[in-house]
A and B are shown apart, each in its own frame.
Chain A
């Protein structure tokens, strides 16, 4: 089982490059896709889900070009779009049964799987109510259930935890790690802690370019020794921000504790810290930004 993304580019009409020669190779496991708004995450996922066609480049699923033969992938694909809706007058069971039929799952097997999935996403109590009366998070869970209907080998979920309460988020993370195994999962999110918990692989996308791809340890090792804690009075925080990239701050009695990302020790009192994934992500974005502004300047 292998997903190969070769020199993938996408230009929307009007010439906005949403993806620029992205190169990826995926094996079973969970890929966390990180990137700022508009980075091209959803575009990449829509192409991998065979909905949008790339402008150039190829995607190979087990050596088959999915643009040429999309059905080879679609049969084993689960996809949760970033924005999606439901038929408001159908119940969760009816809606899932409908999608099961569309995905080609035999009726009896579908019924079984739907009731299991509804328990899994904690919707069994409301399964017979029309979807129009569901809350945003409940609808999102119907979307998650839908993506798992056909026991997909490639599961693509675009911001699956958006709108979920903390408890449901934890439940989803657990679900995802239990499900992985012999399948490829691609998960996009803005919540670094979600990825940190489950991802076996991380890719960072910004402005359509792949900034980094590798195991979390590899990304962390890039910033090891570059994360510092600096304590300053709150009045000095703005000037510190101008000089350094700050990944987080916390107000304490002795001043503001700032997490600084810096190649060199920012000040004599600065204490070195264990890097987190969040630091690695921000550092990757910052380095790209400085390259771009350097070119622009």
Chain B
């Protein structure tokens, strides 16, 4: 039998299954929107306040760079679910009993990832062509200059992203939320790798290739040019077009092309390595170490099997009749149950780190306590929050849960409050310090943050049915806001300075809106279930 046919079949089936999903359409729409935004001048590539004429090369490179940045980050989250799907649907068990080799399987999944992302690259290449025809700045069309950035900048980067998604899926540690958080850091390292390491070839997205050629020309055309190039989102600033700067596009030479093709080769080499660690859907050996939750499962199994040793049941069955159910404590019970569910399966080291961060908040100076320490403490429970709202669809308990009487507002609220409780507990030290310092605005901001995070998690979880969007967005917001002090993005409130109260009010309004959205969405799901 030919492994090529199995690889193609896996990639094909996986690709069909994905592209027929609603979420693929959404991602594609967003890619089209990105293309449109670039075409209408919302994103540009500039040198100080200047840019060149929109030649074929300029437009192709600009759009290709935008899509590369988008797909290497968001695209990772889009494709990191193909092995997961085989695991959760159970198709994996069927595959495991066939002669299919782990390597063929890994290659199939890799090509499917790559095909999905390449589709989006293709859409943007078409968008770039339309944009070029639209723009009247430069009448000449050079197809190679326009399309080569998609082929040689975007595709190798996307291939590397595809193989990374595969690796994250086969490694038990990175399979879940931790991997989703980690990818953001891997990605930002990847973007800045050539600068950080000083090795020009270590450049997965090809920024150096662009910068070399454009930078050299910029010194000619841009007045007082100091070096540097940036992508910007247009927020009202005006750029000057240097009328005689007709950049011909990236001057591909043997060296630069090989450098780009190298990333294809690297990706293809990593695929079989990923296959080596793949467990072939043997759930019994997937994790070497035993977690508490697994021990609990084994313990129950033991009890179940000993329970079977009981003598034959007699027909004298007596069940204690239920007294008329008291509803007073019902909400409290749901709340406690949701809290227990939220904390299930956490290992000792999770608590150890959370406790360390809490002690740190009590002990450190106010600035550090409510700043970086609180920020880390509120990133730490990301997996607890991201499970909210999506747990029911992930574990298939929807039908069980939603058939209960009057479940909707109560269970949702209980789940939300459980999330708030977690935020309040892990951030209690900072709140205490703010209280001591009589900082009522700081305390207000803290409270808004503690409400906002679970509200966002719940809404995203319910809408998407997975924890991934929240994990990815929280990580990005965390990096932009609390870590880089961009006001507005800092959900801890520490970076907002004098604007604390207005920002906090925005967060409160946003949290309310998210909760309402969650409620509406869930009730729609219930009606259509």
Contacts and interface: CB of A to CB of B under 8 A. Distances in A.
Contacts of A274: none
Contacts of B95: 99, 102
A229 interface: no
> Could you tell me the dominant secondary structure of chain A's interface residues?
mixed
Interface in B78-119: 85, 88-91, 93-101
A38 B312 CA distance: 17
B200 interface: no
Contacts of B305: 16, 38, 207
A99 B98 contact: yes
Given A95-B13, A286-B312, A50 B294 contact: no
A252 B46 CA distance: 93
A71 B97 contact: no
Given A87-B13, A104-B5, A81 B311 contact: no
Contact of B298 (A16, A52, A89, A292): A16
A293 interface: yes
B297 interface: yes
B9 A101 contact: yes
Contacts of B294: 13-14
A89 B282 contact: no
A238 B314 contact: yes
Contacts of A245: 312
Contacts of B192: none
B281 interface: yes
Nearest to B296: A14
A242 interface: yes
Interface stretch (B15-23, B270-278, B519-527): B15-23
A14 B16 contact: no
B143 interface: no
B90 A13 contact: no
A102 B96 CA distance: 10
A168 interface: no
B105 to A, nearest CB: 8
Interface in A69-122: 71, 74-75, 77, 79, 81, 83-90, 94-95, 97-107
Interface size class on chain A is 35 or more
Contact of A103 (B99, B280, B297, B312): B99
B170 interface: no
Contacts of A296: 309
B298 A12 contact: yes
Contacts of B98: 74, 77, 99, 102-104
Nearest to B16: A90
A297 B122 CA distance: 73
Interface in A165-180: none
Nearest to A71: B99
Contacts of A85: 88-91
Given A13-B298, A292-B309, A102 B88 contact: no
B90 A293 contact: no
B355 interface: no
A146 B5 contact: no
Contacts of B297: 14
Contacts of A77: 97-98
A101 B97 contact: no
A51 B91 CA distance: 13
Contacts of B284: 10, 12-13, 52-53
Nearest to B12: A98
Given A14-B295, A101-B5, A51 B281 contact: yes
A292 B309 CA distance: 7
Contacts of A292: 309
18 contacts: A12-B301, A14-B294, A14-B298, A14-B301, A15-B298, A16-B298, A51-B93, A51-B282, A53-B285, A74-B98, A79-B97, A85-B88, A89-B21, A101-B5, A104-B100, A143-B94, A241-B315, A293-B309
Interface of B: 1-2, 5-6, 8-10, 12-13, 16-17, 20-21, 85, 88-91, 93-101, 280-285, 290, 294-295, 297-299, 301-302, 304-305, 308-309, 311-312, 314-316
Given A14-B295, A15-B302, A104-B1, 13 more contacts: A12-B284, A13-B298, A36-B308, A38-B304, A51-B280, A79-B97, A87-B16, A87-B91, A95-B13, A98-B9, A100-B9, A101-B8, A104-B6
Nearest 8 Cβ contacts at the A-B interface: A14-B298, A101-B9, A104-B1, A85-B89, A98-B13, A89-B20, A84-B90, A79-B97
